A and B are shown apart, each in its own frame.
Chain A
Amino acid sequence: MDRAWWADLLQRIFFLLIVRPFLTLFIGLKVRGSENLPEKGPFLLVANHSSHLDTISLLALFPLRRLKEIRPVAAADYFDRNRIVSFATRTFFHILPIVRRREEMTAQNDPRKAMVDALKTGTSLLIFPEGTRGTSPVEIGRFKSGVAYLVENVPDLPVVPAYLENMGRSLPKGAWIPVPFFCKVSIGPPRSYAGTTAEIVAGIENAVRELKEAAAV
């Protein structure tokens, strides 16, 4: 699913001129463990989710030319709610929109298939396994099992855990103006997972929780 060259260019310009200065000068983003990000995809980047700042903070860790290699998995019902949001999120964030509600799923828009196909063609995915920003601004919610499906269906898929701190304080759900709390991203080493679905989900969730504990020190 390659997109137009101008969309890639617009995304790079957007990250260079708006996202990076915003994260550096306004948010004061601190990054720990960026050396853990794999040089080559496909990989799965998983993180806790509490804010719209989460996606831009994680994407901003990559060099501009690599932005096109990684797509945030996003809820179609939310990000395709109107044409402007849909266009903006597809262009500036290159989201992979997926259907969340079971009754809307068809053979063509099967969200699991869309994600596996993307990974198999070399695209890396950014996924928030809590499935919502709604759990709490500071606590990590339970991870849903979809993430395990990807691990089971893409052989040797490296999973990179990330823990995001203070994004939910800066820009919580429902807020539109961020408060410039210092925010922090911690990236853990990539790992492959195996076992039952429950074991894989628990393993990935633990990796993120361990980063949270390490970040608190």
Chain B
Amino acid sequence: MIAALENLAPLWRMGAIVGTVLVLATLVLAVLQVVRPGAYLAELWARTRSWWIMASVFFAAAAAGPWVSLVLFVFMSFWAMKEYVTLLPTRAADHAALVLAFFAIPVQYLWVSMEWYGMFIIFIPVYMFLMLPIRLVLSKETSGFVASASQIQWGLMAFVFGLSHMSYLARLPEVGPGGARADGRALLLFLVFVVEISDVLQFIWGKTLGRHKVVPTVSPNKTWEGLIGGVLSASAVALTIRFLTPFSALETFGVAVLITVAGFFGGTVMSAVKRDFGVKDFGSLIPGHGGMLDRLDGLCYAAPVFFHYVRYFYT
């Protein structure tokens, strides 16, 4: 049976692994329901149910092909940007610039679909960076100008530019030094799985052993015990899916540490954003998790870091 599993394409093999993890998580919850029933379980059930749905959507999109996954990524960036912009203290004069910012989402993914790397990598940091303030100037309102220009550009960088790296990662060609092969789609599975499992493991370590807070003013739930336990255990788990990567065992562990730490900082930065806006969650799209951004926060950071690591060393 193991041998049969090894012959599967990476996507299906990964699907089997994620399915097993989810079945186990569901069983653990069912046991807890009997052994230690309580109100705390309701949220865990909601979260697990949402994990089932998110994993199904993700694998269905991946299996359906590049165009369907592109639509999913556009939707993820769009929804994340929506959540962020709704919380922004926008001015009436920002309307046209915001229209432009949302227009930039499909355009950024158009470059991805064309695999036009040069344009993909400069469109938001250069062209949108120059155009947004121009559009704001044309609205003739100078009070709050710098705040608006900065806030809108920051959202585009984090939720459109940053997240679109996941989409481009899936299109990286299968080349590498010394015959090592980097299959972009397999690497995307690796990135998402490691970052998300690290988030779950940080939660579990933090809940069970957490004592010392990392950044108490930003995120009181993030502890050193959770961070270190989560990063190390997720990186150990990453070794079991090394078949997705061109990395050696040592490198797999190192890369996993890199992206889980990046993911931790992504989550912390988005927590600071929420604190600033005075909200607990970015939205209510995903029951038990919050909004789209509450789930994608770590990936906003981990995706660009991982993408450029792979691109630099393996293409």
Question: What residues make up the interface of A, taking CB atoms closer than 8 Å to B?
Answer: 28, 30, 137, 166, 169, 172, 175, 177, 179-182
* B283 partner residues in chain A, CB cutoff 8 A: 182
B102 touching A179, Cβ below 8 Å? yes
- Min Cβ gap B299→A in Å is 21
Which of B83, B98, B99 lies in contact with A182, CB distance below 8 A?
Answer: B83
Q: How far is the CB of A84 from chain B (nearest CB, A)?
A: 24
In-complex Cβ contact of A181 among B78, B86, B284 (8 A): B86
CB distance from B242 to the nearest CB of A (A): 39
Q: How far is the CB of A134 from chain B (nearest CB, A)?
A: 12
A179 touches B95 (CB 8 A): yes
Given contact pairs A28-B79, A169-B90, A182-B82, a sample of 5 additional A-B residue pairs in the complex whose CB atoms are under 8 Å apart: A179-B85, A180-B82, A180-B85, A181-B86, A182-B86
CB distance from A173 to the nearest CB of B (A): 10
| Chain B proximity of A183: nearest CB distance (Å) | 9
Candidates A30, A137, A180, A181; contact of B92 at CB < 8 Å: A137
Whole-angstrom distance between the alpha carbons of A166 and B85 in the complex? 11
- Of B78, B95, B284, which is in contact with the most chain A CB atoms at under 10 Å from its CB? B95
Would B82 and A175 count as touching, CB distance under 8 A? Answer: no
Give the complex CA separation of A172 and B91 in angstroms.
11
Count contacts between A and B, CB distance < 8 Å: 26
A-B contacts, 16 listed (Cβ < 8 Å): A28-B79, A172-B92, A177-B99, A179-B85, A179-B98, A179-B99, A179-B102, A180-B78, A180-B82, A180-B85, A180-B102, A181-B82, A181-B85, A181-B86, A182-B82, A182-B283
- The residue of chain B having its C-beta at the shortest distance from the C-beta of A136 within the complex is B92
Q: Using Cβ atoms and an 8 Å threshold, which residues of chain A touch B90?
A: 169
CA distance A172 to B284 in the complex (A): 25
Q: Give bound CA distance, A210 to B196, whole Å.
A: 42
Chain B residues with Cβ below 8 Å from A166 are: 86
* B contacts, CB < 8 Å to A: 78-79, 82-83, 85-86, 90, 92, 95, 98-99, 102, 283-284
| Closest B residue by C-beta to A166 | B86
> With A and B bound together, what is the CA distance between A177 and B135 in angstroms?
15
User: Chain B residues near A181 (CB, 8 Å)?
Assistant: 82, 85-86
Complexed CA–CA distance, A180 and B82 (Å): 6
Q: List the 7 closest A-B pairs by CB distance, nearest first.
A: A179-B98, A182-B86, A181-B86, A177-B99, A180-B82, A175-B95, A179-B99
Chain B's closest residue to A181 (CB) is B86
Query: Given the complex of chains A and B, what is the CA–CA distance between A180 and B77 in angstroms?
Result: 13
CA–CA, A179 to B78, complex, Å? 11
Query: Given known contacts A179-B102, A180-B102, A182-B283, is B86 in contact with A172 (CB within 8 Å)?
Result: no
Of listed B85, B86, B90, residue having the most chain A CB within 10 A: B86
* Complex Cα spacing A49 to B79, Å: 26
Q: How distant is the Cα of A28 from the Cα of B86 in the complex, in angstroms?
A: 11
Q: Taking CB as reference atom, which chain A residue is nearest B283?
A: A182
Chain B: CB-nearest residue to A174: B95
Q: B83 contacts which chain A residues (CB < 8 A)?
A: 182
Q: Which residue of B lies closest to A184 (CB)?
A: B86
CB distance from A139 to the nearest CB of B (A): 12
State the CA gap A137–B94 with chains docked (Å). 13
Give the docked Cα–Cα distance between A137 and B92 (Å).
8
Greatest chain A CB density within 10 A among B85, B92, B284 is at: B92
Which residues of A sit under 8 angstroms from B284, Cβ to Cβ?
30
Bound-state Cα–Cα, A182 to B86, Å: 6
B residues within 8 A CB of A169? 90
Residues of A within 8 A of B86 (CB): 166, 181-182
Give Cα distance in the complex from A177 to B90, angstroms: 16
When distances are taken between beta carbons in the complex, the residues of chain A under 8 Å from B99 are 177, 179
Q: How far is the CA of A30 from the CA of B291 in the complex (A)?
A: 13
Docked CA distance A181–B82 (Å): 6
Closest CB of chain A to B72's CB: distance in Å? 13
Contacts of A28 in B (CB 8 A): 79, 82
